[in-house]
């Protein structure tokens, strides 16, 4: 199994491809990690160094992969943080190239737009391109609650409204929507899976951090994709993802700024705790 993962890369920290590629590989999926940025650290901390890659640079890297016939064996494309609209255009071209090489390949869009309470943290033209073009191309979509609300223009304050917002997305085109950070109780957060066949939730204990570590969404999208490729069963992938991601969150100390991805890598692969999946619709 092989995934082309197109998203940000940082020297320090486990965000973007610096989380996704490692998680995919530890879960037995070969990752072609193509960067949209090369930054010293997460820009949200301020003072970062580095740059965004131009769309032409992403195309050139894709040319190199094509020359090596590396795209022939790609089972999926995963995209994450896009710093500029040109990055999104390059992702669309990359998806087309992978599908031309393997018509059975599918596209998992992690629509990195923003979060509560900050709102959007990508430029407006990037957000519009994700909503209007990348979402339509996807077979798998992995938004957080804020992103789902922004993409659909709906209120997503509780599981029932989250399901109502996601349902039209799976009816418009058969796809799986995995919504992260779903409020399920004062003590738990859930992952909600919505498919043409219904909706399911897996709830895990809520961890409180003074400063929330970045990268949990990037990690979740990659882990779900890996489990989906391995099992070909979205509900089984939901259950496995809840256990894998919670193992990393549980190992992350309250004062840490980074996810304990390396420390918890064995637990991510074989979690000590499993979480029940409840069908809600």
Q: Give the phi and the psi of residue 107 in degrees, each rounded to 5.
A: -115, 125
Mean pLDDT over the full length of the chain: 95
228-281 pLDDT tens trace = 999 999 999 999 999 999 999 999 988 888 899 999 999 999 999 999 999 999
Q: Is the pLDDT of residue 210 over 80?
A: no
Q: Which residues contact 239 (CB under 8 A, 6 or more apart)?
A: 202, 274, 275, 276, 277
Model pLDDT, residue 176: 97
57 band by pLDDT with thresholds 50, 70 and 90: very high
pLDDT confidence band for 46 (50 / 70 / 90): confident
pLDDT at 106 over 80: yes
Region 20-49: what's the mean pLDDT?
Answer: 94
* Per-residue confidence (pLDDT) for residue 196, from 0 to 100: 96
User: What pLDDT, in 10s, does the model give residues 122-164?
Assistant: 999 999 999 999 999 999 999 999 999 999 999 898 999 999 9
CA distances from 57 to 94, 130, 133 (A): 12, 20, 21
Mark 80-101 as b/e (b = at least 16 C-beta within 10 Å).
bbbbbbbbbbbbeebbebbbeb
Per-residue pLDDT at 152 = 96
Mean pLDDT of 178-206: 96
3-state secondary structure of 270: coil
Q: What is the pLDDT of residue 254?
A: 85
Distance CA 157, CA 80 (A): 24
CA angle 163, 165, 168 (to 5 degrees): 100
Angstrom distance (rounded) from CA 81 to CA 58: 14
Q: What is the pLDDT of residue 273?
A: 93
**Mean pLDDT score, 170-197:** 94
**Is the pLDDT reported for residue 45 higher than 90?**
no
End-to-end CA distance of the chain: 32
Q: Give pLDDT, residue 115.
A: 92
Residue 165 burial by Cβ neighbours in a 10 Å radius (0-12, 13-18, 19+) = buried
């Amino acid at each position: 199994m092989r995934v082309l993962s197109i998203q940000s890369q940082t020297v320090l920290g486990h965000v973007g491809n610096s989380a996704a590629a490692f998680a995919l590989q530890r879960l037995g999926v070969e990752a072609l990690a193509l960067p949209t940025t090369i930054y010293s650290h997460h820009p949200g901390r301020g003072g970062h160094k580095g740059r965004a890659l131009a769309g032409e640079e992403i195309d050139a890297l894709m040319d190199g992969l094509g020359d090596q016939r590396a795209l022939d064996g790609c089972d999926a494309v995963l995209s994450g943080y896009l710093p500029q609209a040109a990055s999104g255009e390059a992702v669309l071209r990359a998806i087309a190239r992978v599908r031309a090489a393997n018509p059975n390949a599918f596209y998992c869009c992690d629509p990195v737009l923003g979060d509560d309470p900050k709102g959007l943290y990508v430029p407006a033209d990037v957000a519009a391109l994700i909503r209007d073009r990348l979402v339509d191309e996807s077979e798998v979509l992995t938004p957080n609650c804020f992103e789902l609300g922004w993409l659909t223009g709906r209120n997503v304050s509780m599981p029932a409204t989250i399901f109502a917002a996601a349902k039209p997305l799976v009816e418009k085109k058969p796809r799986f929507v995995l919504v992260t950070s779903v409020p399920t109780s004062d003590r738990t957060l859930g992952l909600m899976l919505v498919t043409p066949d219904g909706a399911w939730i897996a709830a895990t204990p809520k961890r409180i951090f003074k400063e929330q570590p970045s990268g949990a969404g990037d990690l979740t999208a990659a882990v779900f994709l890996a489990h989906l490729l391995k099992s070909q069963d979205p509900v089984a992938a939901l259950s496995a993802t809840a256990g894998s991601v919670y193992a990393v969150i549980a190992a992350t100390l309250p004062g840490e700024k980074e996810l304990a991805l390396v420390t918890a890598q064995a637990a991510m692969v074989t979690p000590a705790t499993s979480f029940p999946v409840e069908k809600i619709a």
